Amino acid sequence: MQTDFHHAVTYVTARSAGFDHDQADIIAYSAQYVDDAVSEGVVHFDNDAFYARIHSSHKSTDVGNLNNDYNHLIWLPFHFLPGNGGKGPGEDPDGTFIQKIVCLPDSPPAKEMVQAALNDKGKPYSLHRLGIALHVYADTWSHQGFAGVIHEINEVEHAREIKSSGMYAKQLQHMLEDWLDDFIPPLGHGRAKMFPDLPFLHWQYKNGRGVWIDRDNPTDFCKAADAMCKVMQQYLNKTPSGLPAADKALLNKIFLELKIKEDKTRHTRWLDIVKNGFNGEKFSFGSAEISYVAEGVGSWKEKALGSSWDLRVHPYKPGFLSSNWKLFHDALQLHRLTVLHDILPKYGICAG
């Protein structure tokens, strides 16, 4: 999933669940920032204070993607949560260890992960932690069938769109063929490129085990949004009934009809939809203005640390400890520790 879902759709589901604008904004920013927090290390301040942060993603060109040690710390806890074959603690799926770490939608480890985030309600970073967990939770639908390590199980061959016709289908199929690249390491869905991320796409491919897989992205994305809404309703001590019928129908309509391939353009369109509606229809919470800036002026990082990133020592701001950037990184560290050292070991998965 890309910025349109992790930011805009997460905001929509948060508002539908009952969060106010400011709370939903924090949850949605945190959910997307998981993909954009690509720096780690110690930040030094001019009063001798320091803060050590971790990262939750690699840039696509990062050589760290070739190192499975890094993959365990990045892709497994934040993007390709192991599903243990859909089995519970103490059980093993058929096959070798790789079958335990293949990502699956709403798996037992995924349910434990979101529950752990719910258990931290009341902490200063609880909304940030919820957003991080919801990013990973949503990805269990879009990343299903892939593992966050370099392995042949992630091979993708003969990917093609189905249930479409006409000039658009021909253009898209040409694009898919251009994207398929055997030189890309079989890490996660890297060889599938953005096929799992396009909300409107119904496609199929042959995986590394020679099995044809049929993927219906609009249906999967709707299921993910509904499940996320239930989690957020639990956070608010409400009955986890999921998305209101009208909001769910509108989401499905947008996923199917908004056939924009480019992430930033699709996200920009979503920002307009949240504010002005889609073909005359609005979500149940009405109209809202939202935005997302990953870095630079207006970003959480800039507000917390300033814009002078050429400095090795940064001016310390009194509000740093309560800044969204710092609270996000606090939650990020707790999320990784919880997933790798508390949850996955219950399933016989040692990855931390």
pLDDT digits (tens, 9 = 90+) for 171-190: 455 555 544 455 555 455 45
Q: Stretch 131-148: mean pLDDT, rounded?
A: 96
Q: Name which of 110, 151, 138, 26 is nearest 335 in CA terms.
A: 110
Q: What value does the mean pLDDT of the chain take?
A: 89
Q: Is residue 64 part of a domain?
A: yes
Burial class of residue 76, CB neighbours in 10 A (0-12, 13-18, 19+): buried
Residue 168 pLDDT > 50, yes or no? no
Q: What is the pLDDT of residues 211-251, one digit of tens each?
A: 899 999 999 999 999 999 999 999 999 999 999 999 999 99
Q: Distance between CA 250 and CA 217 in Å, rounded?
A: 16
pLDDT reported for residue 159: 80
Residue 15 pLDDT > 70, yes or no? yes
Region of 46 on the Ramachandran plot (φ > 0 left; ψ -120 to 50 alpha; else beta): alpha
Q: Is residue 352 part of a domain?
A: no
Q: Is residue 75 part of a domain?
A: yes
Q: Stretch 115-119: mean pLDDT, rounded?
A: 98
Q: Name which of 84, 13, 7 is nearest 227 in CA terms.
A: 13
pLDDT reported for residue 185: 57
pLDDT reported for residue 182: 52
| 212-216 β-sheet, strand order | 157-161, 202-206, 212-216
On whether the CB atoms of residues 85 and 92 are closer than 8 A, the answer is yes
On whether the CB atoms of residues 195 and 159 are closer than 8 A, the answer is yes
Query: To which H or E segment does residue 51 belong?
Result: strand 50-53
pLDDT reported for residue 205: 86
Q: Is residue 224 part of a domain?
A: yes
Residue 306 pLDDT > 60, yes or no? yes
pLDDT reported for residue 165: 43
As a whole-number percent, the residues of the chain with pLDDT over 70 amount to: 86
Q: Is residue 28 part of a domain?
A: yes
Q: Stretch 322-331: mean pLDDT, rounded?
A: 98
pLDDT reported for residue 67: 57
Q: Write the DSSP symbol of residue 315.
A: P
pLDDT reported for residue 192: 56
Q: Distance between CA 34 and CA 50 in Å, rounded?
A: 22
pLDDT reported for residue 243: 98
Strand, coil or helix: 80: coil
CA-CA-CA-CA torsion for 62, 66, 72, 78, nearest 10 degrees?
Answer: 40
Pick from 140-154, 176-190, 262-276 the range whose average pLDDT is largest. Answer: 262-276
For the stretch 246-249, contacts whose Cβ atoms lie closer than 8 Å and that sit 24 or more positions apart, written own/partner, are 246/284, 247/12, 247/16, 247/283, 247/284, 248/222
Q: Name which of 63, 68, 239, 222 is nearest 142 in CA terms.
A: 222
Q: Stretch 156-162: mean pLDDT, rounded?
A: 81
Q: Distance between CA 6 and CA 10 in Å, rounded?
A: 6
Q: What is the pLDDT of residues 37-88, one digit of tens each?
A: 999 999 999 999 999 999 998 765 454 545 566 667 899 999 999 999 999 9
Q: Distance between CA 167 and CA 183 in Å, rounded?
A: 29
pLDDT reported for residue 167: 40
On whether the CB atoms of residues 113 and 207 are closer than 8 A, the answer is no
pLDDT reported for residue 72: 77
On whether the CB atoms of residues 213 and 154 are closer than 8 A, the answer is no
User: Domain span at residue 151?
Assistant: 3-347
- Give the total number of structural domains in the chain: 1
Q: Stretch 243-263: mean pLDDT, rounded?
A: 96
pLDDT reported for residue 308: 61
Instruction: Report, in this order, helix, strand and coil percent for the chain, each rounded to 5.
Output: 50, 10, 40
Q: Which has more confidence, 163 or 102?
A: 102
Q: What is the pLDDT of residues 200-217, one digit of tens each?
A: 999 998 887 888 999 999
Q: Is residue 39 part of a domain?
A: yes
pLDDT reported for residue 63: 47
